[in-house]
Structure 1
Amino acid sequence: MSTASRRWSLALGLALGAIIAAAIAVGLTSSGRGHSVAQADVASPTAGPPPAAVPAGATVITVGHAATGRAIASGFLGLSLEFPAIPAYAGTDPGDVDPVLLQLVRNLTPGQPPVLRIGGDSTDWTWWPAPHLARPDGVNYTITPGWVAVAGALVRDLGARVILGIDLEADSTRVASTEARALIAGLGRDRVEALELGNEPELYGSFIWDGSGHTGRPRGYDFAGYSRDIATMVRALPHVPIAGPATGAPKWFPDVGQFLAANRDVEMVTLHRYPLQLCFVSRSEPNYPTIGNLLSATASRGQANSVAPYVGISHGHAVPLRIDEMNTNSCGASPAVSKSFASALWVIDALFEMARVGVDGVNIHTYPGATYELFTFRRARGRWQASVEPEYYGMLMFAQAAPPGSRLLRLSWHPRAGERLRAWATRAPDGRIRVVVINDGARAQTVVVRASVTGGTGTLERLTARSLGATGGVTLGGQGFGSETSSGQLAGRPAITSVAAGAGRYSFRVPGASVALLTLT
């Protein structure tokens, strides 16, 4: 939005929509998991026997007719990449961008322009050299004309919109404006969704990256100082939308409203969320990296609830809020968790939870060497090959279950003791209803879905692996990417089964450590 009047003309409607979305719990989970419903008057898991004429021991899930919350936006699911990831993933030839990467991105965004974010930690380590401009302290990555050419080709080949990180920690308007102008010229102004100034500025006053002993800002640097820095930087930048505060610190979240009021050029709020971290955390804490902690309600619903109030505040200013950096573990290597099949189940639930509270989009972060890297690439004999991690499969199932324009539907059910189920439902613009059932328990569960549709048969697709801890052997609808893929497309014989309705009920089994996607037309 380019003017204050446009921002405020939408404010009331968006604020009300966000409040409603945050208040209604449309994804439900067994009461034994500690997942509670946000409002008492919303249909929720209730004690007591299930309806008659269903298989013994089955869990009955009733799909409501009315949609709730906001529609899933085009580009809701995106990727976040560090600056050095561009040549590692896309290659160095702008005329021959890695086709496997292109396909893997397109898989997640069918029929819609992807939203890519290029930034992360490398935002404040990166610069564009210019005459008589000294390299800032802490900068260790140089953007070259070749880098810009490849990034521009990647963005154009995908038809993507991009959020570009700009170095704020250097505290130089010339460094920031030089970098911004070079990136905009190379990628195209029409492709730039926003310039994101800095990355996790809450660390500027305390974290030292380059071994110099100097921090990027004085100790005690706070949100007010960051807001002033933004106001100064914006005056030196090209006139494009600004995004921020790019913070992962919950203590900074309450300042979002004041930040937007003071910086009218900010047209996108960006926050970061990771449920786990290995650094500075004891094994007994709920955010220590374990599969159990990753699959806890805190890691999905808790993360969404932590940003829900600020979604409403942002929408009250007619500004979207995007979680433009999210993944499993923010600090330290934990591949047994982040590269496990459990990460696929987590990401499905976490993305739905963010949609529940009205978040406008989520970018899953990845880069070479990350403990949570989604894929790795190599080129042999002129051909690109990619290894695809389990978490990507979960993202792919979410993309199938929540196409652009779809709305979340209310669910109600009768939980069984000891079950470990979570469920979500959407209605797409074409009227199709999709029901996702996640079973992160060890035992198979029989599920009966009751839905007000006239069709007689549904289709069932499964996301499976040997166990929650499996790091390979994942299949989606019977297909997979194998140990490597040269196409970026699922391969193998599809295993999509039909589920006939009986009195408006669809009954099927959900094995332990798996996800089922039921599609009704």
Structure 2
Amino acid sequence: MLFVRRRVLLPVAAGLALLLLTCLTGCGSGSPHARPRMGPSLAKPTFVTVLNSPAARRVPFGFLGLSLEYRAVEAYAGTDPSAIDPVFEQLVRNLVPGQALVLRIGGDSADRTWWPVPGLVRPTGVKFDITDRWLRVTRALAHALRARLILGLNFEADDPTLASAEAGALLEGIGPGAIRALELGNEPDLYATFPWYRLSDGRHVTGRPPSYDMAGLIEDFTRFAATLPATLLAGPSLGAPGWTRELGRFLAAEPRVGLVTLHRYPLQLCYTPHDAARYPTVDHLLSPAASIGLADSFARYAVLAPGRGHSLRIDELNTVSCGADPAVSQTFASALWALDTLFEMARVGIHGVNVHTFPGAGYELFRISRWRGRWQAVVGPEYYGLMLFARAAPAGSRLLDVQNGASGALRVWATQSGTGTVRVLAVNAGARARVVSVRVAGAQPVRARLERLLAPGVRSSSGVTLAGQSFGPRTFTGRLAGRPDVSMVAATGGRYVVTVPAGSAALLVLAQPATGAA
């Protein structure tokens, strides 16, 4: 599906007239703390037209998923399989309304985890044991959320017997019906670079020799796959662009792989010069390279995978890799980045995205703990962006073409659900307010509902609101609280005029009768 992004030049007089109409979106009643920070705006409005394109891509069910480390399961869900943490459960449900969660469990911990096998010596690089309790908790969590799991197996230990035993334990303990795929290892492209463990004298030991390459990966994967149960395999779980370019070669050699998995972070803390575009800063996170460029880097693989009968998931994604940088990841900028990036991934045809989180991560979506016997969560800014995406792009809806949908730091997206409801999202990552004039081709001139995603600034780590509501300093329910702040916007001359404050997002919802085109 081709997105048309071109400038539209309109008479200045029309622009000035539209500026007078912006109070339609700023004068609605609502809670004072959630009122938009309008500030100075650009002189000319941005005119966008939403087209009813019949060839638009759909947002697949399960598109937005989560990715956890092995230890994170009990940290978030608790250790009692009969009493799964209700706060975590609700926070997950908020992101996948009316659909099953695709939950990936793996990451770095996949290669540091094992199922203890009598007679086998625990590998030196293993730090976490899968236990019967962990299996029961994970099974209960999957049942509660109707989740489909992608489970990482230890690949770096280079022992097929160990991986086979682990796979058997996971299938028996959790149940094959809950398992979407088994994923061999985590980023084997780094096995020869980063240490798997350290010796007592401080020397580093890597999981593979310095000569390790795609040929070695294919040889290892084939050897392991021959010993694993007849379950769908996921891979190659790569993060490095150089290795990813050989994806076609890998898929041709591995017929058991049915789910293609790749990883990416737009910014990297370690081994990155401070003046590099990938060094973690708020400005770099909000740059087009971190969202549009990130998605475009997967476009060729989004075509390649389905052509071979596979689906492609970016099953590990977040803001900053190789180190914690909360000064970037725990700011409101991460919410705007996540919101736009998920749409960009859908644009290029990615089948699904798993946003990575675990306790202690610089980009942790929520910090969960027990206080006086009650579960509670401190919700980070990025989570709000994920929640707005779930509202703006319901599962099964289709992306609509938007003319002039990219203008500087402004991005405009649109979807249409099966009921005909059109949703138009404007994300303004810039330092000035923008006036957006939206025409929805073929839509009935109904009053539209307007919700806003706001914070004091893009560098704010608190004070985030979605439609006037928030989780506050902490939540004991996992639900937004407070009086909703929603405005109604009427069309004038067939256009909806919305002011989008600097560093914010706005969602217009036009309830339409079904057209038969959805």
Residue 433 (structure 2) aligns with? 444
1: distance between equivalents of 2:455 and 2:225? 49
Residue 366 (structure 1) aligns with? 357
Letter in 1 for 2:70: F
Structural mapping, 1:155-234, within 5 Å: 155-212=142-199, 213-234=204-225
Q: Secondary structure at 1:387's aligned position in 2?
A: strand
Q: Secondary structure at 1:70's aligned position in 2?
A: coil
1: distance between equivalents of 2:456 and 2:377? 22
Aligned residue among 259, 265, 274 for 1:268: 259
Give structure 2 stretches of 5+ with no counterpart: 20-43, 512-518
Shift of residue 43, structure 1, vs aligned partner:
5.0
1: distance between equivalents of 2:98 and 2:358? 25
Aligned residue among 131, 155, 167 for 2:118: 131
Shift of residue 67, structure 1, vs aligned partner:
4.3
Instruction: Note if 1:324 corresponds to 2:318.
Output: no
Residue 514 (structure 1) aligns with? 504
Structural mapping, 1:63-462, within 5 Å: 63-212=50-199, 213-413=204-404, 420-452=409-441, 453-462=443-452
Instruction: Note if 1:468 corresponds to 2:458.
Output: yes
Q: Secondary structure at 1:214's aligned position in 2?
A: strand
Q: Is the 8 A contact 2:377 2:475 kept in 1?
A: yes
Q: Is the 8 A contact 2:8 2:47 kept in 1?
A: no
Deviations 1:81-103 (A, max 9, x none): 00000111111000011000000
2: distance between equivalents of 1:306 and 1:277? 16
Letter in 1 for 2:456: R
Q: Secondary structure at 2:197's aligned position in 1?
A: coil
Deviations 1:150-179 (A, max 9, x none): 111111110100000000111111100111
Shift of residue 331, structure 1, vs aligned partner:
1.3
Residue 44 (structure 1) aligns with? 6
1: distance between equivalents of 2:334 and 2:90? 22
Q: Which stretch shifts more, 78-87 or 257-266?
A: 257-266
Deviations 1:25-75 (A, max 9, x none): 3xxxxxxxxxxxxxxxx4522455479375142211111111444211101
Q: Secondary structure at 1:87's aligned position in 2?
A: helix
Shift of residue 503, structure 1, vs aligned partner:
2.3
Q: Secondary structure at 2:335's aligned position in 1?
A: helix
1: distance between equivalents of 2:222 and 2:463? 50
Q: Is the 8 A contact 1:64 1:451 kept in 2?
A: yes
2: distance between equivalents of 1:64 and 1:356? 15
Residue 55 (structure 1) aligns with? 18
Deviations 1:448-475 (A, max 9, x none): 1111211421000000000000000100
Inter-CA distance 448–224: structure 2 relative to 1 (3 Å threshold): same
2: distance between equivalents of 1:67 and 1:43? 18
Deviations 1:369-427 (A, max 9, x none): 000000011112221000000000000000101111111111113987xx631111111
Q: Is the 8 A contact 1:136 1:170 kept in 2?
A: yes
Q: Which stretch shifts more, 190-199 or 252-261?
A: 252-261
Q: Secondary structure at 2:161's aligned position in 1?
A: helix
Q: Secondary structure at 1:66's aligned position in 2?
A: coil
Letter in 2 for 1:393: Y
Q: Which stretches of structure 1, 4 residues or longer, exceed 6 Å deviation after superposition?
A: none
Q: Secondary structure at 2:425's aligned position in 1?
A: strand
Percent identity of paired positions between Structure 1 and Structure 2: 52
Deviations 1:205-242 (A, max 9, x none): 22213113321111111111111111111111111100
Letter in 1 for 2:354: N
1: distance between equivalents of 2:209 and 2:340? 39
Inter-CA distance 119–446: structure 2 relative to 1 (3 Å threshold): same
1: distance between equivalents of 2:109 and 2:56? 35
Deviations 1:327-379 (A, max 9, x none): 00011221111000000000011000000000000000000000000001111
2: distance between equivalents of 1:173 and 1:467? 50
Q: Secondary structure at 1:313's aligned position in 2?
A: helix
Deviations 1:174-217 (A, max 9, x none): 10011111111111101100000010001112221311332111
Q: Which stretch shifts more, 178-187 or 358-367?
A: 178-187
2: distance between equivalents of 1:411 and 1:202? 38
Residue 479 (structure 1) aligns with? 469
Residue 489 (structure 2) aligns with? 499
2: distance between equivalents of 1:503 and 1:129? 69
Q: Is the 8 A contact 1:75 1:115 kept in 2?
A: yes
Q: Is the 8 A contact 2:197 2:206 kept in 1?
A: no
Q: Is the 8 A contact 1:69 1:358 kept in 2?
A: no
Q: Is the 8 A contact 1:69 1:408 kept in 2?
A: yes
2: distance between equivalents of 1:415 and 1:100? 37
Q: Is the 8 A contact 2:164 2:229 kept in 1?
A: yes
Q: Which stretch shifts more, 61-70 or 307-316?
A: 61-70
Q: Secondary structure at 2:293's aligned position in 1?
A: helix
Q: Secondary structure at 1:501's aligned position in 2?
A: coil
2: distance between equivalents of 1:44 and 1:268? 35
Q: Which stretch shifts more, 118-127 or 141-150?
A: 141-150
Letter in 2 for 1:454: Q
Q: Which stretch shifts more, 63-72 or 77-86?
A: 63-72
Q: Is the 8 A contact 1:125 1:138 kept in 2?
A: yes
Q: How many residues align?
A: 481
Q: Is the 8 A contact 2:438 2:495 kept in 1?
A: yes
2: distance between equivalents of 1:217 and 1:159? 37
2: distance between equivalents of 1:140 and 1:281? 28
Shift of residue 502, structure 1, vs aligned partner:
1.5
Q: Give the TM-score normalised by structure 2.
A: 0.91
Inter-CA distance 501–381: structure 2 relative to 1 (3 Å threshold): same
2: distance between equivalents of 1:471 and 1:111? 30
Shift of residue 105, structure 1, vs aligned partner:
0.4
